[in-house]
Amino acid sequence: MTRAVDPGLCGRCEHARAVTSARGSTFWRCSVHDRDPRWPKYPPLPVRQCPWFEEGG
Ligand code: SF4
């Protein structure tokens, strides 16, 4: 059984990639983490406000 996750801003952000685990959970990987390791690789969802958000995902 999969549960739909509301990713908030990540769902339409240039920096987000959806990753589905073997157990069917979906995580949203944020590529901002690659240039700033202090930023979470998997931000807690839903993201409602983000200083890095860029439309276009
Ligand atoms: S930059 Fe913000 S909105 Fe975009 S994917 Fe990362 S956490 Fe989500």
Look at residue 3 in the predicted model and tell me its pLDDT.
Answer: 58
**Closest residue (by CA) to atom 6 of ligand 1?**
30
Looking at the domain assignment, is residue 35 inside a domain? yes
Residue 3: domain span: 1-52
Shortest-distance atom of ligand 1 to CA 28: 5
Q: Which residue has the higher pLDDT, 41 or 2?
A: 41
Looking at the domain assignment, is residue 57 inside a domain? no
For residue 21, the CA-to-ligand 1 centroid distance in Å is 19
| Residue 31 vs residues 1, 3, 8, 23, 50: alpha-carbon distances, Å | 28, 24, 16, 23, 13
pTM given for the model: 0.86
When divided into structural domains, the chain yields a total of: 1
Confidence of residue 2 (pLDDT cuts 50, 70, 90): low
For residue 22, the CA-to-ligand 1 centroid distance in Å is 23
Is pLDDT at 1 greater than 70 in this prediction? no
Looking at the domain assignment, is residue 24 inside a domain? yes
Per-residue pLDDT of 4-54, as tens digits, reads 679 999 999 999 999 998 998 888 999 999 999 999 999 999 999 999 999
